Amino acid sequence: MMAAMKIALIQYNPVIGDFAGNIARIADWLKKARAADCQLAILPELAVSGYPPQDLLERPAFLDDQDRAFAQMVATAHGIGIGVVCGLVTRNPTPMGKPLHNSGVLFADGEVLFTTHKQLLPTYDVFDEARYFEPGSGSGTFRYQGLRLGVTICEDIWNDTSLFPHPLYATDPVAAMLAQADTPVDLLINLAASPFNLGKGGIRHKIFANLCQRHALPLIYVNQVGGQDSLIFDGGSVALDKHGAVVAQAVRFAEDLVVVDTATWQGEIHGAPGRAEAGQETGEVCEALVLGTRDYVTKCGFSKVVIGLSGGVDSALTAAIASRALGPENVLGVALPSPYSSPESLEDAEQLAKNLGIDFTVLPITGLFEAYLAALAPVFAGAAEDVTEQNIQARIRGNLLMAIANKQRRLLLSTGNKSENAVGYCTLYGDMSGGLAVISDVPKQLVYGLCRHLNQSREIIPFRTIDKPPSAELAPNQRDEDDLPPYPVLDAILAAYLEEHRSIGEIVAMGFARPMVEDVVRRIRINEYKRKQAPLGLKVTTKAFGQGRRYPTAEGYRETVLP
């Protein structure tokens, strides 16, 4: 029979490198766990430093400061009277390999009782752990108060050969650990910092349930929560019994503590399991973007933002997310009508601001635009108008918005979506200006879905904004579809090419016209230089522009297209 113990699953929101703040927040959570009569608390991966600390790990002072903070944390937990399993950066004592380990430690009564190291170090997409860490080896088991714990770290449970037909690693740490254990393991524990993307919740649940059923063991999974640069960690910490049934569940996209009792293997259900149905995924993305925006803005030291409101869906969605994330009193919307802006767009921008309760101002740019044209007239003499004049308008807007951001100590949020960014339908130093690109990983069709989601209970984003044909309004009677495929078609091609890595031929075989597919791929390629200079964006799909997509800018590869 499993030893009786109450265990707290603590998912908290760290600030990378804020050691004093992090251990203070952890101490508060440990007090709550002890008040709930818990004997053991479990924290996420790299809980002391926050994940991912990236090249801060190359600074000896950073590591020394973490060690001092951890020592204080061990002493604090001793005073509270609780054991803790925690993620930590530790030093590699051997003369070979990378200098650090991504570790899990168990400490109680003022001392560290057990340490194990992460074995599978991901280097795909946004992950680059092999840059810093040496992989661990050996058994990660330890007996604590009569309970034999098997401790793993994040990726260590993501190489189940029964689920993945092409495993990324040669070993399965869980299977190896259980084979090496001198005595049977009672409970599997996984410390994680696993970022959100669409569809990932279902994959996680499948992995967890299969792991429990395959080894006939219960599992506790504790995940980091919060936004960190482009990444959004959704929490969703969970405990499952040996049959794979969920017995305790933390909320997603917020800090939380849930308790599970090993005597009865029952716990608290605070949130729904992370297996969103198709219709729920839009709501998940909305929560993720709100959390990512709030944390990026505040962790970077800002409290207020400014947004250019065009009267279109993209800026409306960005403003709505910012209002939820930071409070409407901290959001300023600015309309910057040009000679080609419709009266309806200005009306829609103002109505949106009223619906959200945010501050709103209007700065017409016609006079500035005419001054630019006059100044450039000698250089442009004899040249026909083209996209240059459109870009001038966008850059005037970007300049004015940045001036407001500087003067009022606000962060400028850019409003471009993934579909536009992919094909370069955006202006460098214009509408791409800003400190955070909130919806840069949101395809246009999902933009519309998010707008409708926000309007479920009342009209927040004006219905006219959603229903009208999208337009940059930088030229007379301009429509996006004059230059781009219809967005449902464009988004399908982009998903196939960017996220599924399909070839041009494969996408054509899906039913899309070859010239259109080739043109979209060409645009993706030639606009790489723009995206390299874009503000950081929040990641919600499986493949976002940014650190997880590493393509050369100067290159000569052209895909062979067979007839």
Helices (H), 36-172: 60-80
Overall residue count recorded for the chain in this entry: 563
| Cα–Cα distance, 157 to 461 (Å, whole number) | 42
Tokens representing 484 are 């781009």
User: What sign for the dihedral angle of Cα 512, 442, 225, 23?
Assistant: positive
154 is catalytic: yes
Q: Pick the catalytic residue: 45, 155, 268, 420? A: 45
Mapped onto helix, strand or coil, the DSSP state of residue 8 is strand
Q: What residue has token string 């399909």?
A: 502
Decide: 326 and 294 in contact? Cβ < 8 Å: yes
Decide: 487 and 444 in contact? Cβ < 8 Å: yes
Peptide bond into 52 cis (omega under 30): yes
Q: Which residues of 466-493 are buried (b: 16+ CB within 10 A; e: fewer)?
A: bebebbbbbbeeeebeeebbebebbbbb
| Cα–Cα distance, 521 to 560 (Å, whole number) | 12
CA of 27: how far to CAs of 77, 78, 81, 369, in Å? 7, 11, 11, 56
**Residue 420 host element (H or E):** helix 418-423
**Contacts within 8 Å (CB) and 24+ apart, 406-412:** 408/304, 408/306, 408/332, 409/302, 409/304, 410/302, 410/304, 410/305, 410/306, 410/332, 411/297, 411/300, 411/302, 411/304, 411/305, 411/306, 411/435, 411/436, 412/305, 412/306, 412/307
- Burial (Cβ within 10 Å: 0-12, 13-18, ≥19) of residue 562: exposed
Nearest partner of 223 among 103, 43, 84, 23, judged by Cα: 43
**Residue 7 host element (H or E):** strand 6-11
354 is catalytic: no
Q: Pick the catalytic residue: 6, 38, 129, 154? A: 154
Compute the C-alpha angle 370/375/379, nearest 5°.
120
- DSSP for 189-241, please give it: EEEE--B--TTHHHHHHHHHHHHHHHHT--EEEEE-EEEETTEEEEB--EEE-
* Distance in Å from the first CA to the final CA of the chain: 66
45 is catalytic: yes
Q: Pick the catalytic residue: 6, 38, 86, 118? A: 118
Q: What residue has token string 């026909």?
A: 384
Within 8 A by CB and 6+ apart from 522, the residues are none
Q: 3-state secondary structure string, 319-366?
A: HHHHHHHHCHHHEEEEECCCCCCCHHHHHHHHHHHHHHCCEEEECCCH
Catalytic residue set? 45, 118, 154
